Chain A
Amino acid sequence: GENVEQHPSTLSVQEGDSAVIKCTYSDSASNYFPWYKQELGKRPQLIIDIRSNVGEKKDQRIAVTLNKTAKHFSLHITETQPEDSAVYFCAAYTGSARQLTFGSGTQLTVLP
């Protein structure tokens, strides 16, 4: 089955700096890669996603890049703000298995 690895497990940045979180996946059949933000005690919130036929996608301060050959994808947050502090999860979806496989999460802390 699919295996998703996520790094780093913790990340601290100064407000206004950029943050990058990286994930690798194992199943070349995976074709959809969402990112979720989970604040303490709250539900995972879908913040951005990318499909395998696209190399990059941006939404305001957030961007995701995908390298299908290397089987890795990354989340980029620019101009970070304290409210960006949360746990971020990457995931990969394999159509044949009909399931999302999640990474282990990254605790992002934005220091004011």
Chain B
Amino acid sequence: DAGVTQSPTHLIKTRGQQVTLRCSPKSGHDTVSWYQQALGQGPQFIFQYYEEEERQRGNFPDRFSGHQFPNYSSELNVNALLLGDSALYLCASSLAGRQETQYFGPGTRLLVL
């Protein structure tokens, strides 16, 4: 049973650039949530995707956008990168009927220079 996977594992970008992160949910799951985890802090909710639509968004600017594909995989895009965007980006998958029970991927560590 495949767990949640994310790519790439690490990424280095410079300020002003754009980045795309990818997530494949756990087998059988159809909902993907994205989180940002700064060093030494708990994950912060960015948004959730279900049926290829953004269902809910946390307190993040619209530089952060996403997409979900028909196979339930998802992308997180961040435009106009800032130094403060450096963090571990986690995706979590769940089932629509049990969306509270979320399983995390290994994350993508983004460093913005």
Contact = CB atoms under 8 A, between A and B. Distances in A.
Contacts, number: 56
A46 B102 contact: yes
Going nearest first, the 9 A-B pairs with the smallest beta carbon separation are A102-B42, A98-B56, A93-B100, A99-B45, A32-B100, A43-B104, A44-B104, A43-B106, A89-B42
A29 B103 CA distance: 22
Contacts of B100: 31-32, 34, 93, 95, 100
A61 interface: no
Interface residues of A, number: 25
B58 interface: yes
Contacts of B90: 43-44
Dominant SS among interface residues on chain B:
strand
A102 B42 CA distance: 6
Interface size class of B (residues with CB under 8 A): 20 to 34
A20 interface: no
Interface of A: 4, 6, 31-32, 34, 36, 42-46, 49, 89, 91, 93, 95, 97-105
A98 B50 CA distance: 11
